[in-house]
A and B are shown apart, each in its own frame.
Chain A
């Protein structure tokens, strides 16, 4: 902790070993005037009382005060007032301090976006113009600005413009900066894939409606959209994360072309790879796919059992009742403690099963981890 504070004190960007803080070896509790908790917005002079370094110039002081007023206005939803301060704050791009000059574009971009999103008189053209300006203001956050711009366009229903922006951003290359913004690039490609999928669905419905004359050309377009979407979506799904919309789209695409093996592989990877977070939706998608495929009850049950361990109250638990005719087995699944415990399972389940049919639901639910009252009211 202290070493962390020390590092901030120096204000440098030098790297220190990740493990030192992570495993706690850097934590020591020497008597220090600093609190044990790192406070991010503590004034610098409280953090290290000895005055070191250069004193801030009046220009910097003014800009700092201006920023505080902007922040105040934003938090009180006074967008017009914030915008007026913002016009004055733009001068900070000429700041004499190199550090502040570097940080200024990001500040201006964030605040400007926020103001333009909420100001009653802002229009989408103004927002586009602002975003273009911000993209040219620095290469370090080019892709991030692009991504945010696309989100804004999508939220306003401007899908074509968003698609154009995504295509432009996808091809952006700037030496090392491209690799530094790898995550943003991946997201941009994925969202482009998502929009390709959207276009693909439009073409599909169009093709189904059309007669044979135009269907060929439409089908050609549809296939090209499929190829673009599949490449991009497959890429992002490999990285650990939460990719529900992407996975759904990708599965839909593949199922249309009947590539079921790939779907099965993707979904089982998404659900069971330990590098991925324990997303309940991954199991739901896998189960739904298997159900569509008409898999055996045993396979379906095994998927549902794993889902039950994560979310005992999920709606799909009702399917357990349909799949398992024996109430005894249902109870065994439901009353198995949810957490990874060594507790013994209920042994004499027969008696309990007999009782549960008679008892009101409230009296039995304390036997085990069971969240869904819904389930028992139906199955018992």
Chain B
């Protein structure tokens, strides 16, 4: 491995991060050669040779499309239950095209958790009142005790049985529990408002913070899973792995997406498999009773042929939720695991878990976040451990003594105040010594051989912190490596390209490019009726859940397929092909400004999009061929509305298929996903037959009243007493009060104020009392 003989000049001083000065934040990455690596000051050897078109020949991307047949998945309902963002609407004017956020504010759930967390406050008073009337013991009640006491043994047993299956959507409420809840739900509990309000406020603050930034999906739930030999049967074109971080996919979903891609766009397989991302979602936001869904990690083997199902190899349990799981690029069966309690483990399938570090504190300065990450490095026995403050490398053989700092939020990397590590990634496939670190401001490319000082630094200008990243390495030293950065909530997707690392210093090649997020697909759909439009908008605007890319096998162009998964379960892809050389286009450019062909307008990746829906639409089959995008919209770049890529009829076809499948899935929605009726019980359950039967010797008035009652119940109407025909008897007036019968002061005063002369009475009272006190 060579080290670049000459690096770009830069100041470098240890110390705290520089103060963040107010400056045009969304533009921080433009126009500076000095800061962006590529465009740093030229090194002496290159002063005279650096040409203008650095990296131009490898730029992306002209869109082609295809649609993916939908993977089989249980979750076929639309994302209709996404509640509203509490702050939604506040930022509607901030930026055009900003999508709404969906997030859960589930008051019912919060109240349920309140009951679980504070049973004494909620049920204490009623419980003490009813203590004598409920019998919790196992034995049978004697006849005498049964007069005032009921046994709740079976009720308690039933509750205990259902405890483990509380979140099962298929669970039907048992009749006994339903009856009890109907009887008692209105009076059994008591809500201390102060305490509940406090809890609710805390919960809302947590939820709000989680809405703004949630680190649970860091790393993403989507990975490219290459095959062994690179020679694929045509029906198994590619696969994706979705892990259970996506809400709604509780179980690990390994899926194979076959067919659907066009023959020319079929990616070849490579050699490595990886399950990135946190393997278990954790509910850190719920107070008191964390509903941690998964503390287990599992390793699956996919060595079997394509048709065979993946085989689980090993399953482990951790005491705290895991935040990271990475596969070693060096040794098979070796993984690194980080948990939220600050522990780093090396997990070997044969030897089991080895704890390397247990440190709840962060490495460089104090930071509250328990998030940890760990990756492998160029040496198979050295792991990099990251927290929000930086990266450290530690040797597996001597984890306490052998370690060095790879990156820290400080002056060496020219960090800003408030900057935190969002996602580190090992760039081993591009260069064995390189690591990528993304913060909410910038991306850094680091070299293990020159720690702490980044080789490349660029401010990415993403609206939300990037927590997904994917590397598509270049095929040779000359071609650029492509890094995809993805944000969670805003679905942003940014493509960076850089070269260098071994012979020459790292450089960005060309400006970054934003790829189209899923939510932009809405404008390619045919107009729907308003409710459908709203649902579609909500579905497409769901936060992203993972990003990956794969090279496609297409000889002259070799496009890159970029896949994006949304939390609603939709998988979209776009294809990027290298840009033609800029010179040819500029030479053809006509002179009049409005009809200028903008070099990149024609290179939009988006008008034709592939779309895949998480529903059973297998029958949709292979979809229309790739739509080569014409330059129809090349000239109309003036207004933003026009500049948005217009969709040809052919380009809309894949979207149409996606939409049809979606609508079919919605209309076929199973019953239980529709809003359930509130549980009701029949009256014969409440009263015995004897009680309901007509008492002997009833008068005709009773009979009439009963008929009226039945009719009112049938019609769900009110039953007033005068419906029985009896005129309401006027209430007798009480006897008038004789004031003189009440000689005390209070009565006099009330009498006076009732008559309206309270002031006079008071003055008179004062006038009477003063001389008496004086005479005394």
12 other contacts beyond A23-B365, A314-B1, with CB at 8 A cut-off? A13-B21, A45-B94, A77-B603, A110-B30, A194-B44, A242-B453, A244-B6, A280-B3, A310-B450, A314-B3, A342-B398, A343-B398
CB under 8 Å from chain B, chain A span 66-116 = 67-69, 71-81, 84, 99, 103, 106-107, 109-114
Q: Are B44 and A248 in contact (CB under 8 A)?
A: yes
Which of A19, A243, A277 has the most chain B CB within a 10 Å cutoff?
A277
- Does B625 sit within 8 A of A, measured CB to CB? no
27 A-B pairs (CB sep. < 8 Å): A1-B418, A8-B22, A19-B16, A27-B365, A35-B210, A38-B418, A39-B212, A41-B464, A46-B87, A46-B90, A61-B93, A72-B514, A76-B604, A77-B513, A81-B643, A106-B24, A110-B32, A117-B31, A151-B41, A154-B42, A197-B44, A242-B9, A310-B450, A337-B395, A339-B393, A339-B402, A371-B379
- Does A42 sit within 8 A of B, measured CB to CB? yes
List residues of chain B with CB within 8 A of the CB of A147: 34, 41
9-residue interface stretch from B152-160, B171-179, B582-590: B582-590
Known contacts A13-B21, A15-B19, A337-B395; A245/B48 CB under 8 A:
no
Q: How long is the Cα–Cα vector from A155 to B42 in the complex, in angstroms? A: 7
- Does A231 sit within 8 A of B, measured CB to CB? no
- Does A43 sit within 8 A of B, measured CB to CB? yes
List residues of chain B with CB within 8 A of the CB of A197: 44
List residues of chain A with CB within 8 A of the CB of B26: 41, 67-68, 71
Q: Are B464 and A39 in contact (CB under 8 A)?
A: yes
Q: How long is the Cα–Cα vector from A156 to B48 in the complex, in angstroms? A: 8
List residues of chain B with CB within 8 A of the CB of A310: 449-450
- Does A32 sit within 8 A of B, measured CB to CB? yes
- Does A174 sit within 8 A of B, measured CB to CB? no
How near does chain B come to A340, taking the closest CB pair, in angstroms?
A: 7
- Does B27 sit within 8 A of A, measured CB to CB? yes
CB under 8 Å from chain B, chain A span 24-77 = 24-25, 27, 29, 31-43, 45-46, 49, 61, 65, 67-69, 71-77
- Does A148 sit within 8 A of B, measured CB to CB? yes
- Does A369 sit within 8 A of B, measured CB to CB? yes
Q: Are B586 and A120 in contact (CB under 8 A)?
A: yes
How near does chain B come to A8, taking the closest CB pair, in angstroms?
A: 7
Using CB atoms, name the residue of chain B closest to A152: B33
List residues of chain A with CB within 8 A of the CB of B512: 75
CB under 8 Å from chain B, chain A span 186-202 = 187, 190-191, 194, 197-198
Question: Which 3 pairs of residues, A with B, have the shortest CB-CB distance?
Answer: A24-B366, A77-B600, A110-B31
How near does chain B come to A336, taking the closest CB pair, in angstroms?
A: 12
Known contacts A107-B24, A187-B9, A278-B451; A77/B511 CB under 8 A:
yes
Q: Are A68 and B395 in contact (CB under 8 A)?
A: no
Q: Are B25 and A40 in contact (CB under 8 A)?
A: yes
CB under 8 Å from chain A, chain B span 406-442 = 412, 417-420, 422, 440-441
Q: Are A37 and B369 in contact (CB under 8 A)?
A: yes
List residues of chain A with CB within 8 A of the CB of B462: 41
- Does A287 sit within 8 A of B, measured CB to CB? no
Q: Are B31 and A109 in contact (CB under 8 A)?
A: yes
* Number of chain A interface residues as a range: 35 or more
Known contacts A13-B22, A38-B440, A43-B94; A74/B511 CB under 8 A:
yes
Q: How long is the Cα–Cα vector from A198 to B117 in the complex, in angstroms? A: 75
- Does A297 sit within 8 A of B, measured CB to CB? no
Q: Are B450 and A277 in contact (CB under 8 A)?
A: yes
- Does A348 sit within 8 A of B, measured CB to CB? no
9-residue interface stretch from B128-136, B201-209, B334-342: B201-209
Using CB atoms, name the residue of chain B closest to A45: B90
CB under 8 Å from chain A, chain B span 187-238 = 201-202, 204-206, 208-210, 212-213, 215
- Does B355 sit within 8 A of A, measured CB to CB? no
- Does B599 sit within 8 A of A, measured CB to CB? yes
Known contacts A75-B513, A341-B401; A277/B452 CB under 8 A:
yes
CB under 8 Å from chain A, chain B span 360-410 = 365-369, 378-381, 388, 393, 395, 397-398, 401-404
Known contacts A4-B418, A21-B417, A46-B90; A40/B440 CB under 8 A:
yes
List residues of chain B with CB within 8 A of the CB of A152: 33
Q: How long is the Cα–Cα vector from A250 to B643 in the complex, in angstroms? A: 52
- Does A216 sit within 8 A of B, measured CB to CB? no
Q: Are B637 and A80 in contact (CB under 8 A)?
A: yes
Q: How long is the Cα–Cα vector from A69 to B366 in the complex, in angstroms? A: 39
Q: Are A34 and B209 in contact (CB under 8 A)?
A: yes
Q: Which of B52, B95, B205, B365 contacts A156 (CB 8 A)?
A: B52
List residues of chain B with CB within 8 A of the CB of A156: 52
Q: Are A278 and B418 in contact (CB under 8 A)?
A: no
Q: How long is the Cα–Cα vector from A292 to B11 in the complex, in angstroms? A: 29
Q: How long is the Cα–Cα vector from A377 to B621 in the complex, in angstroms? A: 54
List residues of chain A with CB within 8 A of the CB of B401: 339, 341-343
How near does chain B come to A357, taking the closest CB pair, in angstroms?
A: 24
Q: Are A311 and B3 in contact (CB under 8 A)?
A: yes
- Does B8 sit within 8 A of A, measured CB to CB? yes
Known contacts A40-B441, A79-B599, A242-B453; A120/B511 CB under 8 A:
no
How near does chain A come to B402, taking the closest CB pair, in angstroms?
A: 4
- Does B745 sit within 8 A of A, measured CB to CB? no
Q: Are A248 and B368 in contact (CB under 8 A)?
A: no
How near does chain B come to A65, taking the closest CB pair, in angstroms?
A: 6
Q: How long is the Cα–Cα vector from A245 to B40 in the complex, in angstroms? A: 13
Q: How long is the Cα–Cα vector from A113 to B513 in the complex, in angstroms? A: 17
Q: How long is the Cα–Cα vector from A80 to B585 in the complex, in angstroms? A: 13
How near does chain A come to B205, taking the closest CB pair, in angstroms?
A: 5
Q: Are A341 and B5 in contact (CB under 8 A)?
A: no
Q: Are B91 and A155 in contact (CB under 8 A)?
A: no
Q: Are A46 and B402 in contact (CB under 8 A)?
A: no
How near does chain B come to A243, taking the closest CB pair, in angstroms?
A: 5
List residues of chain A with CB within 8 A of the CB of B31: 109-114, 117, 148
Using CB atoms, name the residue of chain A closest to B505: A244
Q: How long is the Cα–Cα vector from A68 to B418 in the complex, in angstroms? A: 24
Q: How long is the Cα–Cα vector from A372 to B21 in the complex, in angstroms? A: 44
How near does chain A come to B618, taking the closest CB pair, in angstroms?
A: 35
A-contact bits for B242-274, CB 8 A (1 contact / 0 none): 000000000000000000000000000000000
Q: Are B96 and A68 in contact (CB under 8 A)?
A: yes
Q: Are A24 and B441 in contact (CB under 8 A)?
A: no
Q: Are A366 and B603 in contact (CB under 8 A)?
A: no
Known contacts A22-B16, A106-B23; A198/B449 CB under 8 A:
no
- Does B601 sit within 8 A of A, measured CB to CB? yes
CB under 8 Å from chain B, chain A span 116-175 = 117-118, 120-121, 144, 147-148, 151-152, 154-157, 159
Q: How long is the Cα–Cα vector from A371 to B448 in the complex, in angstroms? A: 12
Q: Are A75 and B32 in contact (CB under 8 A)?
A: no
Q: How long is the Cα–Cα vector from A332 to B52 in the complex, in angstroms? A: 49
- Does B50 sit within 8 A of A, measured CB to CB? yes
- Does B47 sit within 8 A of A, measured CB to CB? yes
- Does A364 sit within 8 A of B, measured CB to CB? no
List residues of chain A with CB within 8 A of the CB of B551: none
Q: How long is the Cα–Cα vector from A90 to B475 in the complex, in angstroms? A: 43
- Does B20 sit within 8 A of A, measured CB to CB? yes
Q: Are B9 and A245 in contact (CB under 8 A)?
A: yes
How near does chain B come to A358, taking the closest CB pair, in angstroms?
A: 23
Q: Are A277 and B412 in contact (CB under 8 A)?
A: yes
Q: Are B402 and A191 in contact (CB under 8 A)?
A: no
How near does chain B come to A112, taking the closest CB pair, in angstroms?
A: 7
Q: Are A190 and B449 in contact (CB under 8 A)?
A: no
Using CB atoms, name the residue of chain A closest to B209: A35
Q: How long is the Cα–Cα vector from A112 to B30 in the complex, in angstroms? A: 9
Q: Which of A1, A33, A144, A371 contacts B1 (CB 8 A)?
A: A371
B-contact bits for A291-323, CB 8 A (1 contact / 0 none): 000000000000000000011011100000000
Q: Are A111 and B27 in contact (CB under 8 A)?
A: yes
Q: How long is the Cα–Cα vector from A27 to B13 in the complex, in angstroms? A: 24
Q: Are A279 and B7 in contact (CB under 8 A)?
A: yes
Known contacts A24-B365, A371-B1; A18/B202 CB under 8 A:
no
CB under 8 Å from chain A, chain B span 572-601 = 582, 585-586, 589, 593, 596, 598-601
Q: Are A79 and B24 in contact (CB under 8 A)?
A: no
- Does B12 sit within 8 A of A, measured CB to CB? yes
